[in-house]
Chain A
Amino acid sequence: MGWAHRSLIRMRDLTAEDIVRILDTAAACKDIFRRAVKKLPTLRGQVMVNLFYEPSTRTRTSFELAGKWMSADVVNIAVPSSSVVKGESVTDTARTLAALGADIVVIRHPAAGVPAMLARSVGAAVINAGDGMHEHPTQALLDIFTIRECRGTLAGLHVLIVGDILHSRVARSNIWGLKRLGARVTVAGPPTLIPSGLERLGVGVSHDLDRVLPRADVVNVLRIQRERQTSGLFPSLREYTRLFGLTRERLQLLKPDALILHPGPANVGVEIDREVMDDPRARIEEQVTNGVAVRMAVLYLLMGGRQDAMVA
């Protein structure tokens, strides 16, 4: 079956088949890590631009490694948000990238919708590495890959996403992907951090973490931004931790075979305790490794590769 997508902007656009295809390809990519020589020639001669309008070490490095292992020429453009001319036109950026000969553009931007605008105005394949509060598809894919790797399937699993759902592109992308693959999804957090209309996505909402934790097969703990406190969304980090932190004490509520995920970087002691991160049920470091595999798979599929050719 062919791969229909030129760009990867949002999980919402992917079918269950698309997602499984990416996961299967990622599994093959992960095998390559075990080789002594990691390079694949797939993207030789292709220019991949990492265009980051927000600071990011983890995601940018992950994309960079994925590109390099596929033999692409990788260029990083970090645009510190302080130097972004307010109201700089996305179209102007697109023209610049076209002039640079970019074949693949990985973009992270603080405003929702920018990767889609870019995809419309450049010939290159565009990968959304996070746009505002909208989506972060490769993060969702690596979370789902990690779950599938441990549990074999997503169907019927109960995934709990804890924290600031309102501002989270990770939560939104996860919800689309998890629902497509047949998982049950519940979000937990204070009402001020839960966006409206989630029930229309078939997502359960809870404000009582202790009640939902024992029923979860997977707990995905989101990073809490400290500045949400000053904007009045919750009274203090201490109270947040008390109500929604995945603390050492709450570990006992978890199923023995539950998985603990965190997209990183974690605020240790706020949304998650060190002991929880070190618990054998946590897969947080594995998520980082899987991120590279998933991004290699996405690059491969977007650039027209065939899965059998890679495995061979």
Chain B
Amino acid sequence: MRWLLKGGRVIDPSRDVDAVLDVLVEGDRIAAIGPDLAGPAQELDCRGKLVVPGLVDLRAHLGEPGREEAETVASATRAAAAGGFTALGARTATDPTIDDPALVAFVQDRARRSAAVRVYPLAALTKGRAGIELTEMGALRDAGAAAFSDDDRPVTNAGVLRRAMEYASMFDVPIMVHCEDPDLAGEGVMHEGFHSTIHGLRGIPGAAEEVLVARDLILAELTGARVHISHVTTARSVALIREAKRRGIRVTADVTPHHLILTDEDVQPDDARWKIRPPLRPWSDVEALREGLRDGTIDCIATDHMPHPPAGTELEFDQAPWGIIGLETALPIVLDRLVGTGALSLKAAVRAMSTNPARLLGAPGGTLELGAPADIAVIDPEAERVYDPAEGYSRSRNTPFAGWALRGWPVATMVAGRWVVQEGRVIG
């Protein structure tokens, strides 16, 4: 099958392209890219649309195994496809956690049978994500683990983390760390400050993140491991990472769409859809995150997609589970609230949502160069829609963005030369 994507604005940061061009797809590959390409091929009129390499999410929770009431590989990957994603890193906070090659194989098997986009399983750094014993990283890597991550649990024992980094440094696989000191975070449920005080909710100071960012950067330098700092939220974390990069430490970092636009002032204490970890921070931190994204200190935007069934979001804030879904809103949020307001260039947005995360996971996408896999997202930058999670593909609806009017939505998604989304709807 040959497809010709006609007349779209092609943005490919991997080759520094931003021009109106045609893209020819042959089989599962990109066969040609240039002005006024001709068939024979089936045509998709992309005039007025953006044509970008398919988005890649570093970290999404796919629900399998163990949390199928919240999400499945099938539902999460359809939500991802609808959101313009063509590849996902699968979070390890499953039940059981992905800490064994057989479980990596299980996720891959579920993906082969039911996924709409590519799935890259992450694997736990320590057995049971308990922070004590190392997992069989060699076997996990060979089974296909794209990165090692204890998901939302920090390795609190610095000695264990040092050994894990040292050991992992012989494989070219990144370690994703969650930086939150559990003693400083305590029983906190939102950022510690004026708003936690008036809501009577326990606070998590920015320092809970920053002390572990500092520690993990120092350990990265000591061990030479590839370290990736997940969901950075504070100005000081950004400054620490910037300084580490300047000194040549092999570190990368990401930020979520919600931490780039929401603050602790937005938190609704009687609505568990606002229980987000790490917590939403004040505006001064948000500004620093944006600056970090612009200057390349922060490499990627990752969703942290964390589905919960309604029984979870009906709980009181203290008891409710952490996290929100994000696959279907990540791109519209970034386009409307960051690109649309001039806070981020379109090219930087695509770089942070496709080029860089693909490189980090070692995924083949993230580029539209000749011969690359035909993983493509077509975006209508003018489309305006009010987001209703009930109309989405995720099994869960826990998001504070319900009812938001957003401009800029994906309309077509191609994975390996096959359309998985057309006219905004998932097909097949």
A116 touches B198 (CB 8 A): no
CB of B319 within 8 A of CB of A87, answer yes
Task: Give me the 5 closest cross-chain CB pairs, A-B, nearest first.
Answer: A197-B194, A134-B200, A116-B270, A133-B200, A111-B316
- Interface contacts beyond A112-B199, A116-B269, A133-B200: sample of 6 additional A-B pairs, CB < 8 Å, sorted by A: A90-B315, A111-B316, A113-B199, A113-B201, A113-B270, A196-B194
Among residues of B, the one whose C-beta sits closest to the C-beta of A120 is B270
Query: Are B314 and A90 within 8 A (Cβ)?
Result: yes
Over the window 301-325 of chain B, the binary record of Cβ atoms lying under 8 Å from chain A Cβ atoms (1 yes, 0 no) is 0000000000100111111000000
A112 and B195 form a contact (CB under 8 A): no
CA distance A114 to B316 in the complex (A): 6
Task: Return A278 CB to nearest CB of chain B, in Å.
Answer: 33
Interface string of A192-206 (1 = CB under 8 A from B): 000111101100000
Q: Are A132 and B315 in contact (CB under 8 A)?
A: no
State in angstroms the CA–CA spacing of A90 and B270 once bound together: 11
B195 close to A113 (CB less than 8 A)? no
Residues 174 to 227 of chain A near chain B (Cβ within 8 Å): 195-198, 200-201
Interface size class of A (residues with CB under 8 A): 20 to 34
| CB of A86 closer than 8 Å to a CB of B | yes
Let me know if A195 and B315 touch, CB within 8 A. no
| A172 / chain B contacts, CB cutoff of 8 Å | 197-198, 200
Q: In the complex the two chains form, is B315's CB within 8 Å of A113's CB?
A: no
Which residue of A131, A133, A195 has the most chain B CB atoms within 10 A of its CB atom?
A195
* Residues of chain A contacted by B194 (CB below 8 angstroms): 196-197, 200-201
Interface membership of B203, Cβ < 8 A: yes
A148 vs B196: C-alpha distance when bound (angstroms): 30
Shortest distance between the CB of B320 and any CB in chain A (Å): 8
Q: Is A135's beta carbon under 8 Å from chain B?
A: yes
- Contact of B317 (CB < 8 Å), options: A12, A112, A169: A112
Is B362 located at the chain interface by the 8 A CB criterion? no
Which chain A residue shows the least CB distance to B194?
A197
Q: Flag whether B144 is at the interface (Cβ < 8 A).
A: no
Given A116-B269, A120-B270: A111 in contact with B198 (beta carbons within 8 A): no
Q: Determine how close the nearest CB of chain B comes to the CB of A285; give it in whole angstroms.
A: 28
Does A82 have its Cβ within 8 Å of any Cβ on chain B? no
A83 interfacial contact with B, CB 8 Å: no
Chain A residues with CB below 8 A from B200, complex form: 112, 131-135, 169, 172
25 residue pairs of the A-B complex, CB under 8 angstroms, read A12-B198, A87-B311, A87-B319, A90-B314, A111-B319, A112-B200, A116-B269, A117-B316, A120-B270, A132-B201, A132-B318, A133-B200, A134-B269, A169-B200, A172-B198, A172-B200, A196-B192, A196-B203, A197-B193, A197-B194, A197-B196, A198-B197, A200-B194, A201-B194, A201-B198
Q: How many residues of B contact A (CB 8 A)?
A: 22
A196 touches B319 (CB 8 A): no
Select which of A134, A135, A197 is within 8 A of B195 by beta carbon: A197
Asked if A91 is at the interface (CB within 8 A of a chain B CB), the reply is: yes
Is A57's CB within 8 Å of the partner chain B?
no
A86: chain B residues within 8 A (beta carbon): 319
Contact between chains at A113 and B314 (CB < 8 Å): no
CB distance from B402 to the nearest CB of A (A): 15
User: B195: nearest residue on chain A (CB-CB)?
Assistant: A197
**What are the residues of chain B within 8 A of A87 when measuring CB–CB?**
311, 315, 319
Contact call A111/B197, Cβ cutoff below 8 A: no
Q: Which residues of A contact B317 (CB under 8 A)?
A: 111-113
Q: A150-182 vs B: 1/0 string, CB under 8 Å? A: 000000000000000000010010000000000
Most buried by A among B195, B271, B315: B315
A-facing residues in B315-373 (Cβ within 8 Å): 315-319
Contact (Cβ within 8 A) A89 B201: no
What is the bound-complex CA distance between A109 and B319, given in angstroms?
12
Within 8 A of B (CB), among A71-130: 86-87, 89-91, 109-114, 116-117, 120
A134/B199 in contact, CB under 8 A: yes
B49 to chain A, nearest CB (A): 41
Chain B residues whose C-beta falls within 8 Å of the C-beta of A116 in the assembled complex? 269-270
- CB neighbours (8 Å) of A114 from chain B are 270, 316
**Contact present for A133 and B195 (CB under 8 Å):** no
- Nearest A residue to B321 via CB reads A87
Nearest CB in chain B: distance from A126 CB, A: 11
Q: Which residues of A contact B315 (CB under 8 A)?
A: 87, 89-90
Q: Contacts A195-B196, A196-B194: A133 and B201 contacting too (C-beta < 8 A)?
A: yes
Contacts of A132 in B (CB 8 A): 200-201, 318
> In the complex, A112 Cα to B198 Cα: how many Å?
10
| A91 adjacent to B314 (CB under 8 Å) | yes
Q: Which residues of B contact A195 (CB under 8 A)?
A: 196-197, 203
Q: Which residues of B contact A90 (CB under 8 A)?
A: 314-316
Chain A: CB-nearest residue to B202: A133
Query: What is the bound-complex CA distance between A224 and B316, given in angstroms?
Result: 25
Q: How far is the CB of A56 from chain B (nearest CB, A)?
A: 17
Out of B197, B201, B314, B318, name the residue touching A197 (CB < 8 Å).
Answer: B197
Q: Which residues of A contact B202 (CB under 8 A)?
A: 133
Which chain A positions have C-beta within 8 A of B199?
A: 112-113, 134
